[in-house]
Amino acid sequence: MIGSWVMLIYQELYGTRYTLRTLDVDFAVHIAHRQSQLRTDMKQLIIGLGFTDYLAAEGVQKFTGGGYEVEFIGQRSGGRNKGFLSVPEWNITAIPLPFINILIDFSDITEMDGFTIRFPIPEAYFLHKLIIHRKRPSVAKRGKDLEQCTSIMQVINDDRLLQITKAQRLGKETRRHIAASCDAIGFPLQRIGLS
């Protein structure tokens, strides 16, 4: 699980505070395996839960039901003009976005309400939000990104944050985005290792 719903996990595990204001539930998918034992018809599983599937812009498959919208997101590599990522082993398509690998590669698992949930560790989520904050066209979403960073700032482990940052190939523009985001929330850039 990625996206704003992760904030509820942080609230439960770390005592952070955040008011959830979305009914979109986002899941990251790692497009790297084709092993038969990892195959499942995710589309049918979600439809079986009472959701309806539909194709959104550029062929991206989404699910809606009970006022919620479920979508899958995968790591975009290369150019910007990819409409969707095909995930045949799960019978779904995913939205291609950059830097999703940060959320997938640095994750943890917890049990909540009888479900096992994989989620990005706070430091990965924090860095991801610092990066994408400046890239978003929506002012409201940019504000939400910074609110979430501010909410989890007090639980950030500097050693883990540095480990995640060092594992990334960050271009000059991305580094500028991170610096501007840190400045906006008053987070010392040296804690990320980019000063």
139 residue type, one letter: V
Exposed (0-12), middle (13-18) or buried (19+): which is 186, by Cβ within 10 Å? exposed
Residue 179 has pLDDT above 80, yes or no: yes
Whole-number Å distance between alpha carbons of 24 and 70: 6
Q: What is the pLDDT at residue 147?
A: 95
At 31 the pLDDT is: 63
**pTM (two decimals):** 0.90
For 15-157, where are the alpha helices, taking DSSP H only? 42-48, 100-105, 122-132, 139-152
Q: 159 by DSSP, 3-state: which?
A: helix
Q: pLDDT tens digit string along 24-36? A: 999 998 765 555 5
pLDDT, tens digit (0-9, with 9 covering 90-100), for 115-146: 899 999 999 999 999 999 888 878 888 899 99
Mean confidence (pLDDT) of the chain: 89
For residue 87, give every residue at least 6 positions away whose Cβ sits within 8 Å of its Cβ, in sequence order, or none: 29, 31, 42, 72, 74, 93, 94
pLDDT at 100: 92
Identify the burial level of 72 via C-beta atoms within 10 angstroms of its C-beta, where 0-12 means exposed, 13-18 middle and 19 or more buried.
buried
pLDDT at site 128 = 96
- Could you tell me the two tokens for 158? 């500097």
What is the domain partition of the chain in residue ranges? Answer: 1-120, 122-195
